[in-house]
Structure 1
Amino acid sequence: MRGLYICLMFAVLTSATNGYDGSMMNGLQALDQWVTSFHNPSAATRGLLNAIMSVGSIVALPITPYIADIAGRRAGIITGCLLMIVGVVLQSASLNIQMFIAARFLIGFGVAIAHGSAPLLIAELVHPQHRAIFTTIYNSTWYFGSIVAAWLTYGTFTISNAWSWRIPSIVQAAPSVIQLIAIWLVPESPRYLIAKGKNEQALQILGKCHARGDVNDELVQIEYREIRETLALEKEFEGNGWLELFKTPGNRHRLIILISLGFFSQWSGNSLVSYYMSDVLKGAGVENAKLRLEINGILNIVNFITALTMCFFIDKPGRRPLFLFATGGMCASFVVWTIFAAEFKKTAINALGYLEVTFIFLYYVFYNCAWSGLLVGYAVEILPYKLRAKGLTLMFLAVDLALFFNSYVNPVALAKLDWKYYIVYDCWLAVESIVVCFYYIETRNTPLEEIVKYFDGEQALLGGDLATEKARTLMFEEGIETGKTDVDRFESRVSTP
């Protein structure tokens, strides 16, 4: 099981590619060689450079869930990685700004497809006790990629030609190359296989991943029955079209959470630092380009340590308390950050600039207590199988729309309003706290299929040993076969000499 999990984490490094990109673009904009190569891009052009990746992701989203649901979770990862590698090759070979922009569009297109499958594979494959840890680690690898890019651009800072930016660009392909190798060592999602009628193969994978190959294990058999009966009910009585997300109170509740997750994760002020750290630090009095790169690299290390540490404590306090704590802390620290930024602008006292940088670090500690890891993990687990790929796609659509807005608007707004632009985020973070308080629910220590009961109550279509009354009635009326038959059949086959 341990070996499988190691392979799985290498196979789903998509988020690391995203993190690498944000930090790389931060670093490149601080390199004189990059600025010279592309003839000193204006604030609007720099905004487009960052925004175009989100545009590529948005364009890819309509086909993303169909690749995951029809071709499989692994196929989605493979397709996305191949597209990202092609995009990185074009980006690294760019001769002008137009070629650089086109390459970033293709990278964004590939990221969206891989993102639409990788977290699904994790959530649907790992042991129930490990789901929270691994789904949150997935998105926390964003910072791993960010750290590599930040310190690599710092290392190439002294190169006096175009290779100072081409080398970081080439290395951006590394996570995708690793994924393409590791994905062949990881099995397909058992839920996907059951949905495609490959029940015995799914049962074997459940046994291998959750009980060291023992298909007779009690947990494996309970899981198998629950998954198979639930998917049969969903197939018989629920559609999987986009409109299903709007039809029932439970699905509308899920939709509010998904959309808010996407926008809040990017509209909380964090994108100012993710893509425009250089401008923010200049506003705090850090004029030395080398020092700005060092601060960016140290911040990413602090972020990664905080986010990774929190992954192992998700099930202790639970999702809802962490979201409330993180969002409240972000709001408070951002307000203080704004105050110090305003005072520094008025007085130019260096100590105030240092305090502003300190509260940027503190803000990110709060952010990483919930939003970095739970963004994907929480979104995946609140959705039933039939809507999981499409619901996750909508969440990523919200992320990409927010990123597009931020990438294009932030540099212009910072140039025009300076610290006053921070006030917008102060107010918005207060709104986020209210939404989290009223709509986010707790899901800790609950198997994936059983979470539907928190949203749909006794109207939930849940099979297995903990089937709802409605589900039992429908299965009896429609004569839906339970999973026990397939379990017995598979056992007899594997025991036959």
Structure 2
Amino acid sequence: MGLVKLPSGTWMPAWVPESSLVLSVLLVLCSAAQSLTTGYDGSMLNGVNILPQYTNYFQLSTGELALNTCSVYIGGALAPLCTGYFLDRLGRRMTLLWSTCLMVVGVILQTAATSVPMFLASRIVLGFGNSIAGAAGAVYLSETFKATWRAWGVGLYNDNYYVGGLIAAGLTLGTANIQNTWAWRLPSLFQGVFSVICIIIIPFIPESPRWLEHKGLHAEAQLVLARVNANGDSDDPVVLLQHQEIVDQLAWEQDQGQRTSWRQMFTNRSSRKRLLIAVTPAIFSVIAGYPSGYYLGTQLENVGVTSTTAQLQVNVVLNIFALACALFGTQLCARWGRKPVGILTQGLCTFFMLVLGILSKEYALSTYKPGVYGAIACIFLFTGSYSIGWTPLLFLYPPEILNYSIRANGMAFCQFANNAIATVFLYAMPIGLDKLGWKIYLINVGWDVVLTAIVALYWVETKGKTLEEVDAIFDGIRHSNMPELEDLTTGKVDGALVVQQAAHRGQEVESEKDAAAVA
């Protein structure tokens, strides 16, 4: 397998694999640094929150335990203030590079922490970089990945959350017997491995073709599309169709006076509607019940599982189960579509949260084993239900809904909403579990019902469409006269016709440019 040098519009060119399949694998591995780190962080904190070597070293109260845990989201909530600017100015690829470098700095500081303030500061730095990387990875992957594989490519991006979680669960279980602070410092240090892998891969992946096209680098954008979709064949009908759609869509947005700024998200009804729908996964994935996952130890204690070793073992098995469910859900997103999976996952979450609350009430600290096992089973089933939909949809759905002008800032806004609400919930959850016990689950059920109804009523379907074809749902008209990609890939439209249309449209564009130059 050889490498092909591609221009990137930045100071770092790209040496890209000739094979589209190999390139697709690298794109997912590189972009997944954020989800691996986030999943690892949740599982690691689950593990170290159980370890006496951690809690005794910092002498943590319940409030300090919650603050240590949620501090990564404080940094994450601050990052969106500059994320959109970096993505549009530096490019998707370069923003991903610098944000992962910042994550490495945060991990080093966290591992070296000797006090609660230092630990908090390190996690704020880590969260800041991680939030930027999250928006950058999602935007980059949705804009660059092969269109016909997008559901799997971008879905797998966040499915890696549980790969990171599984690694952390196994590592904290393995270091639990170390009778000093390295019991938690080693898992902390390993958290930086994912960012390092991303940094190593970045020189071998291209820049987003949509960012290149927006910068006026037309030939470069088509080269990237060809390398991602057709092993470098620039005359492939799929490549020509997508490139022309991108050209037409960006030209329309420019004619409408749309700019890549925060203000653009609120200037017209279409942009506001896109933003409101796009932000729902960021918010719903938190308040559906996810933050309780950071406090698995407390949940297990509430149903009678008090052994540290048993809790760590449950953490390992739970991550394996959740990963399997997330992969199953990604397949459903590709086959059924995004909206049906959203309804399914939220409905199941509501049901199992209700059952968990009832069982926790009846069998908390009970010696009746079937009741205890039933409550543990519900923790698994709730986590699996959550993983089926919210894990792949969190980063798959929003960038599909947002058009180019607001995609970067819109994803930054989604990251802000996700991190800000997670900060509140992660801080409140241990206090709620401590003060309210099983009642916190029933409170959760109430708003889960509302979330299910919102998904059913207001989400739109994006399955089988390019990012530009989704725009027709919101704008009422298509901005390109090219056939739809699904019609081409299913044989409803002849590829030769697409080649002719692309050539004709290209001639029209050149004529328009010449006329404009003369004028």
Q: Structure 2-normalised TM-score? A: 0.88
Aligned to 1:484: 506
1:243 deviates by: 3.2
Matched, 1:323 2:342: yes
Among residues 20, 23, 26, which one is paired with 1:7 in the alignment?
26
Paired residue type of 1:465: M
Aligned 1:51-70 pairs, distance under 5 A? 51-70=70-89
Paired residue type of 2:185: R
Gaps spanning 5+ residues in structure 1: where? 468-480, 490-497
Q: Distance in 2 between matches of 1:347 and 1:5?
A: 50
C-alpha contact 1:76 1:116 (8 A) present in aligned 2: no
Of 284-293 and 28-37, more deviation after overlay is shown by 28-37
Among residues 193, 197, 201, which one is paired with 1:178 in the alignment?
197
Matched, 1:47 2:105: no
Describe the superposition over 1:127-151 as per-residue Cα deviations: whole angstroms up to 9, x where unpaired: 2110111111101111110110011
Matched, 1:121 2:140: yes
Matched, 1:87 2:132: no
C-alpha contact 2:301 2:365 (8 A) present in aligned 1: no
Matched, 1:272 2:289: no
RMSD (Å) for aligned C-alpha atoms: 1.9
1:482 deviates by: 8.5
Q: Distance in 1 between matches of 2:143 and 2:115?
A: 43
C-alpha contact 1:88 1:107 (8 A) present in aligned 2: yes
Aligned 1:207-218 pairs, distance under 5 A? 207-218=226-237
Q: Distance in 2 between matches of 1:371 and 1:16?
A: 16
Aligned to 2:39: 19
Among residues 241, 245, 268, which one is paired with 1:248 in the alignment?
268
Matched, 1:36 2:56: yes
C-alpha contact 2:329 2:341 (8 A) present in aligned 1: no
Q: Distance in 1 between matches of 2:363 and 2:461?
A: 41
1:306 deviates by: 1.2
1:30 deviates by: 0.9
Q: Distance in 2 between matches of 1:485 and 1:112?
A: 42
Matched, 1:78 2:97: yes
Aligned to 1:494: none
Aligned to 1:475: none
Matched, 1:398 2:417: yes
Among residues 380, 391, 394, which one is paired with 1:375 in the alignment?
394
Q: Distance in 1 between matches of 2:504 and 2:113?
A: 57
1:242 deviates by: 2.3
Of 228-237 and 80-89, more deviation after overlay is shown by 228-237
1:81 deviates by: 0.7
Q: Distance in 2 between matches of 1:349 and 1:245?
A: 55
1:249 deviates by: 3.2
C-alpha contact 1:229 1:483 (8 A) present in aligned 2: no
Aligned to 2:464: 445
Paired residue type of 1:17: T
Paired residue type of 2:173: Y
Q: Distance in 2 between matches of 1:248 and 1:117?
A: 25
Q: Distance in 1 between matches of 2:304 and 2:365?
A: 12
Paired residue type of 1:484: G
Q: Distance in 2 between matches of 1:348 and 1:397?
A: 44
Q: Distance in 1 between matches of 2:29 and 2:142?
A: 15
Q: Distance in 2 between matches of 1:348 and 1:398?
A: 42
C-alpha contact 2:359 2:371 (8 A) present in aligned 1: yes
Describe the superposition over 1:251-295 as per-residue Cα deviations: whole angstroms up to 9, x where unpaired: 23222222321111011112112x100000000100101000000
Q: Distance in 2 between matches of 1:196 and 1:485?
A: 20
What SS is found at the alignment partner of 1:167? helix
C-alpha contact 2:163 2:323 (8 A) present in aligned 1: yes
Of 376-385 and 305-314, more deviation after overlay is shown by 305-314
Matched, 1:140 2:170: no
Q: Distance in 2 between matches of 1:315 and 1:415?
A: 40
1:483 deviates by: 5.9
Q: Distance in 1 between matches of 2:133 and 2:182?
A: 29
Aligned to 2:246: 227
Runs of 4+ with >6 A deviation: 486-489
Paired residue type of 1:15: S
Q: Structure 1-normalised TM-score? A: 0.92
Describe the superposition over 1:288-308 as per-residue Cα deviations: whole angstroms up to 9, x where unpaired: 010000001100110011112
Percent identical residues: 33
Q: Distance in 1 between matches of 2:28 and 2:243?
A: 24
What SS is found at the alignment partner of 1:161? coil
Among residues 429, 436, 457, which one is paired with 1:410 in the alignment?
429
Q: Distance in 2 between matches of 1:230 and 1:483?
A: 13
Aligned to 2:490: none
Among residues 449, 465, 469, which one is paired with 2:482 in the alignment?
465
Q: Distance in 2 between matches of 1:258 and 1:413?
A: 29
Q: 1:7 to 1:488 in 2, by over 3 A?
A: farther
Q: Distance in 2 between matches of 1:338 and 1:429?
A: 13
C-alpha contact 1:203 1:224 (8 A) present in aligned 2: yes
Paired residue type of 1:463: S
C-alpha contact 1:57 1:108 (8 A) present in aligned 2: yes
Paired residue type of 1:345: A
Q: Distance in 2 between matches of 1:310 and 1:59?
A: 31
Aligned 1:230-379 pairs, distance under 5 A? 230-237=249-256, 238-273=258-293, 275-345=294-364, 348-379=367-398
Paired residue type of 2:42: G
Q: 1:282 to 1:224 in 2, by over 3 A?
A: same
1:196 deviates by: 0.7
Paired residue type of 1:107: L
What SS is found at the alignment partner of 1:216? coil
Aligned to 1:152: 171
